């Protein structure tokens, strides 16, 4: 089990350590930060009141294992979930990513009262795409972007889920 709690300046050094190279930083954060990640960038980040940024805590041992965010979208009644990272490598592959997404969706749909949630993921990140699809996200092929990382093109795809689709997906999984 995990919990998400507000990310603050006490968490900066940990996130900087997890972002030890340009590829890792870009994979988790897109173009919002530049490498190397700095305290100044994170101060600006947490002072943006439109973003809800979280640290992810493993409730079994109390350790902070990751990071996640909910941000505004260009689309009405929609938010983005982004900057999802399981920073502790020994905690990856244990299902925490799926738990994080479910908690962010619950917050987006029930606390923020949004009707749609979207995210962007690099097309080569097959494990993440499968995780999102298992929750109910669908690929929106009309919305893609390209990032250049160390001279290589990385294509990001957009995925979306509607509040009603999550309910149907949840019923299918529980019934």
What gap in Å lies between CA 132 and CA 61, rounded to an integer?
Answer: 26
DSSP state letters, 95-146: SHHHHHHHHHHHIIIIIS--SEEEEEEETT-HHHHHHHHHHT-EEEEEEEEE
The pLDDT of residue 89 = 87
Half-sphere exposure (CA, 13 Å, Cβ side) for 139? Answer: 12
169 falls in which pLDDT band (50, 70, 90)?
low
Main-chain dihedrals φ then ψ at residue 47, nearest 5 degrees: -85, -5
What gap in Å lies between CA 132 and CA 75, rounded to an integer?
Answer: 20
70 falls in which pLDDT band (50, 70, 90)?
very high
The pLDDT of residue 168 = 56
Q: Which residues contact 117 (CB under 8 A, 6 or more apart)?
A: 78, 79, 80, 81, 104, 105, 108, 109, 160, 161
What gap in Å lies between CA 64 and CA 12, rounded to an integer?
Answer: 12
Q: What is the DSSP letter of 77?
A: T
Q: How does pLDDT run across 81-104, given as a tens digit for each residue?
A: 999 999 988 999 999 999 999 999
167 falls in which pLDDT band (50, 70, 90)?
low
Q: How does pLDDT run across 131-163, given as a tens digit for each residue?
A: 999 999 999 999 999 998 889 999 999 999 999
Domain spans in the chain, listed from the N-terminal domain onward? 2-174
Q: Can you read off the two tokens belonging to residue 34? A: 């530049």
Q: For domain 2-174, say whether CATH 3.40.630.30 is its number.
A: yes
Q: How does pLDDT run across 120-139, given as a tens digit for each residue?
A: 999 999 999 999 999 999 99
Q: Which of 12, 13, 69 is nearest to 44 (CA)?
A: 12
41 falls in which pLDDT band (50, 70, 90)?
very high
The pLDDT of residue 116 = 97
Residue 113 has pLDDT above 50, yes or no: yes
Residue 53 has pLDDT above 70, yes or no: yes
The pLDDT of residue 173 = 45
Average pLDDT, the chain: 93
């Amino acid at each position: 089990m995990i919990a998400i709690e507000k990310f603050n300046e006490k968490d900066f050094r940990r996130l900087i350590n997890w972002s030890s190279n340009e590829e890792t930083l870009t994979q988790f954060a897109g173009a919002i930060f530049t490498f190397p990640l700095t305290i100044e960038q994170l101060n600006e980040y947490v002072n943006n009141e439109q973003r809800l940024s979280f640290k992810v805590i493993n409730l079994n041992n109390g350790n902070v294992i990751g990071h996640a965010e909910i941000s505004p979208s260009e689309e009405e009644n929609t938010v983005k979930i982004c900057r999802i990272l399981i920073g502790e490598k020994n905690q990856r592959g244990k299902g925490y990513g799926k738990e994080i997404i479910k908690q962010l969706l619950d917050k987006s749909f029930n606390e923020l009262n949004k009707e749609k949630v979207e995210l962007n993921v690099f097309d080569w990140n097959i494990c993440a795409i499968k995780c999102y699809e298992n929750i109910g996200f669908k690929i929106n092929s009309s919305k893609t972007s390209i990032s250049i990382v160390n001279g290589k093109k990385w294509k990001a795809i957009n995925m979306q889920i509607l509040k009603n689709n999550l309910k149907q997906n949840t019923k299918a999984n529980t019934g």
